[in-house]
């Protein structure tokens, strides 16, 4: 019997990164807990390889593909008028009244045992067509119906894949995001009972909004440079609305919510989470393991951005900041330490920017590397991200005495300046900058490199802060206690 079934969307064990590292730490630290994993991915991929060695306490790994559609499933019965009425009422409840009391009845219509809808019935029946046109006439008659229909279909096909999923039985279901993983956890709780927990590292709806606002695959009637949700096209707002609905469903269904810092908690409450369900448990790192890193000073300043080469990490701002920094410290060397294959087009754009600024001799794209080797000699670590939760990079750098320059997103300010008054008394362990501001980023790098007294104070504060507040063993033990109390 599986004790804890982890519901994971696009992370562990196939994608490296902060969330995946946390999941691996969580599983590895609990030798007596039997885990199952449900991994949600866009498509099947026979070339996909695991980035982590799976601990022996993982008893099963199931994969669900959002876009490998199987529209014809065996149905227990044919849908009746009441079944279509449930769907209609659920749509109204979700879209208009922002309630989800009908959710348990709604998902029963799609489950393999006792359900009455397969994909063909859902996407081809006259009754569903009538419901769709009724909502179109009521809420969006100024939009092309053809575009409306295909957007509805495109957003509902992956939802249908989740609704049809065969979920393993477990005593506890633990989703590490809302979205499709959260929907799956809500289904599991309704179908099998037991406990359902949610841990949010980053706020799913906020991250999807950033992605969708910049997406070029969503149809728009007019092309504009959108910066706020109220300015987004109807169809981009539709996609964001879908993910907001999934988050609200998850928040309402889950028994407990865990998140990393106060800013996340406030955003979850604004998105509809019950404050009494939320507990703060920050990420931690292996403090003992960090002792193996031996620091060595190189002749010239060494600066590194650690992260995937993807748009949300805003690598271009880092490149522009490097150019400005080199005007004052021409011997400095800059590294971009992280995988480059996830967003190939963006990687090519970053390389072109380096060439256009004639920085080929100063900036190195390393790809995936052993970070411990670089932590041994980097002088400053930089994050220029548009969105973060509680980056491991800050903890890893600070524990070995490397100050960090980071944008004011997620928990970065709290991690570098302290959360509580007692934490703040330790002093700063780096500098906070504005988002998409290469001038601010460069000025912070230069200050750390040129003000040795300030640099040394930041280095000492970082080591002390991580030891006191971010010890991995202490923080993971809290999850173990939570699991054991509910098994």
Question: Based on the domain organization, do 342 and 451 belong to the same domain?
Answer: yes
Please tell me the predicted confidence (pLDDT) of residue 100.
Answer: 77
417-473 per-position pLDDT tens digit: 998 999 999 999 999 999 999 999 999 999 999 999 999 999 999 999 999 999 999
Question: Based on the domain organization, do 100 and 61 belong to the same domain?
Answer: no
Domain assignment present for residue 482? The answer is: no
pLDDT at 225 over 50: no
pLDDT at 353 over 90: yes
Residues 6+ apart with CB under 8 A from 99: 93
Please tell me the predicted confidence (pLDDT) of residue 186.
Answer: 95
Domain assignment present for residue 196? The answer is: yes
Residues 6+ apart with CB under 8 A from 107: 163, 186, 187, 190, 191
CATH number of the domain enclosing 371? 3.40.50.2000
Side-chain-facing half-sphere of 378: CA atoms under 13 Å:
31
* Cα distance between residue 67 and residue 89, in whole Å: 27
Domain assignment present for residue 475? The answer is: no
Domain count, the chain: 3
Orientation angle between helical segments 179-192 and 145-163, nearest 10 degrees: 50
Task: Write down which residue in 120, 154, 188 finishes a domain.
Answer: 154
Domain assignment present for residue 133? The answer is: yes
Question: Based on the domain organization, do 355 and 464 belong to the same domain?
Answer: yes
- pLDDT (mean) for 112-130: 86
- pLDDT (mean) for 475-483: 95
- pLDDT (mean) for 354-376: 96
pLDDT at 162 over 50: yes
Omega cis (within 30) before 13: yes
Task: Write down which residue in 230, 251, 280 finishes a domain.
Answer: 280
242-300 per-position pLDDT tens digit: 898 899 999 999 999 999 999 899 999 999 999 999 999 999 999 988 888 999 989 99
Question: Based on the domain organization, do 315 and 261 belong to the same domain?
Answer: no
Domain assignment present for residue 269? The answer is: yes
φ, ψ dihedrals at 280, nearest 5°: -100, 120
86-97 per-position pLDDT tens digit: 999 988 887 776
Please tell me the predicted confidence (pLDDT) of residue 110.
Answer: 86
Average pLDDT, the chain: 91
Question: Based on the domain organization, do 225 and 354 belong to the same domain?
Answer: no
pLDDT at 221 over 60: no
* Cα distance between residue 433 and residue 436, in whole Å: 9
Three-state DSSP class for 171? strand
Domain assignment present for residue 484? The answer is: no
Question: Based on the domain organization, do 299 and 254 belong to the same domain?
Answer: no
Question: Based on the domain organization, do 150 and 169 belong to the same domain?
Answer: no
Please tell me the predicted confidence (pLDDT) of residue 346.
Answer: 96
Angle at 371 between CA 14 and CA 454, to 5 degrees: 135
Three-state DSSP class for 448? helix
Question: Based on the domain organization, do 321 and 366 belong to the same domain?
Answer: yes
Task: Write down which residue in 280, 300, 318 finishes a domain.
Answer: 280
* Residue appearing with tokens 């991995």: 472
Domain that holds residue 328: 287-470
Question: Based on the domain organization, do 174 and 149 belong to the same domain?
Answer: no
- pLDDT (mean) for 7-35: 93
Please tell me the predicted confidence (pLDDT) of residue 220.
Answer: 55
- pLDDT (mean) for 360-364: 97
Instruction: Return the closest-CA partner of residue 294 out of 420, 400, 194.
Output: 400
295-350 per-position pLDDT tens digit: 998 999 999 999 999 999 999 999 999 999 999 999 999 999 999 998 999 999 99
Domain assignment present for residue 389? The answer is: yes
Question: Based on the domain organization, do 24 and 172 belong to the same domain?
Answer: yes
Question: Based on the domain organization, do 119 and 244 belong to the same domain?
Answer: no
User: Within its chain, how far is the Cα of 368 from the centroid?
Assistant: 20
pLDDT at 198 over 90: yes
Please tell me the predicted confidence (pLDDT) of residue 335.
Answer: 98
Which residues pair with residue 333 across a beta bridge?
Answer: 302
Instruction: Return the closest-CA partner of residue 219 out of 158, 155, 156, 151.
Output: 151
* Cα distance between residue 8 and residue 19, in whole Å: 10
Domain assignment present for residue 477? The answer is: no
Angle at 365 between CA 359 and CA 369, to 5 degrees: 150
Percent of the chain with pLDDT over 90: 71
Question: Based on the domain organization, do 203 and 114 belong to the same domain?
Answer: no
- pLDDT (mean) for 362-366: 98
pLDDT band for 224, please (50, 70, 90 cuts).
Answer: very low
For the whole prediction, is pTM greater than 0.75?
Answer: yes
């Amino acid at each position: 019997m599986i004790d804890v079934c982890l519901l994971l969307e696009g992370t562990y064990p196939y994608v490296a990164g902060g969330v995946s590292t946390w999941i691996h730490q969580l599983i590895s630290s609990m030798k007596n807990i039997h885990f199952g994993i449900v991994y949600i991915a866009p498509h099947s991929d026979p070339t996909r390889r695991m980035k982590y060695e799976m601990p022996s306490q993982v008893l099963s790994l199931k994969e669900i593909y959002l876009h490998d559609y199987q529209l014809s499933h065996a149905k227990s019965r044919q849908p009746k008028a009441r079944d279509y009425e449930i769907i209609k009422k659920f749509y109204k409840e979700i879209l208009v009244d922002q309630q989800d009391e009908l959710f348990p009845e709604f998902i029963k219509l799609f489950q393999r045992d006792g359900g009455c809808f397969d994909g063909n019935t859902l996407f081809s029946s006259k009754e569903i067509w009538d419901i769709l046109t009724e909502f179109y006439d009521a809420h969006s008659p100024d939009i092309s119906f053809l575009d409306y229909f295909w957007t509805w279909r495109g957003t509902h096909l992956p939802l249908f894949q989740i609704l049809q999923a065969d979920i393993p039985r477990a005593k506890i279901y633990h989703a590490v995001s809302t979205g499709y993983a959260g929907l799956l956890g809500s289904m599991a709780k309704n179908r099998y009972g037991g406990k359902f927990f949610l841990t949010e590292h980053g706020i799913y709806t906020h991250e999807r909004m950033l992605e969708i606002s910049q997406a070029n695959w969503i149809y728009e009637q007019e092309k504009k440079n959108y910066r706020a949700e109220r300015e987004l096209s109807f169809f981009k707002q539709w996609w964001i609305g879908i993910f907001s609905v999934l988050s609200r469903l998850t928040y309402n269904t889950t028994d407990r919510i865990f998140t990393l810092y106060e800013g996340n908690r406030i955003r979850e409450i604004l998105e509809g989470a019950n404050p009494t369900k939320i507990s703060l448990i920050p990420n931690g790192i292996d403090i003992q393991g960090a002792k193996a890193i031996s620091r060595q000073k190189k002749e010239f300043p060494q600066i590194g951005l650690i992260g995937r080469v993807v748009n949300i990490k805003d690598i271009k701002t880092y490149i522009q900041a490097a150019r400005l920094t080199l005007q004052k410290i021409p011997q400095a060397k800059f590294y971009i330490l992280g995988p480059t294959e996830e967003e190939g087009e963006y990687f090519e754009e970053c390389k072109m920017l380096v060439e256009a600024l004639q920085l080929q001799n100063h900036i190195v794209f390393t790809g995936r590397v052993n970070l411990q080797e670089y932590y041994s000699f980097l002088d400053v670590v930089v994050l220029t991200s548009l969105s973060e939760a509680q980056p491991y990079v800050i903890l890893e750098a600070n524990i070995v005495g490397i100050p960090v320059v980071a944008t004011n997103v997620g928990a970065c300010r709290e991690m570098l300046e302290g959360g509580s008054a007692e934490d703040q008394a330790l002093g700063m362990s780096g500098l906070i900058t504005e988002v998409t501001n290469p001038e601010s980023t460069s000025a912070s790098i230069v200050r750390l490199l040129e003000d040795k007294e300030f640099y040394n104070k930041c280095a000492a504060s970082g080591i002390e802060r991580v030891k006191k507040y971010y010890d991995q063993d202490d923080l993971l033990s809290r999850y173990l206690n939570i699991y054991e109390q509910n098994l």
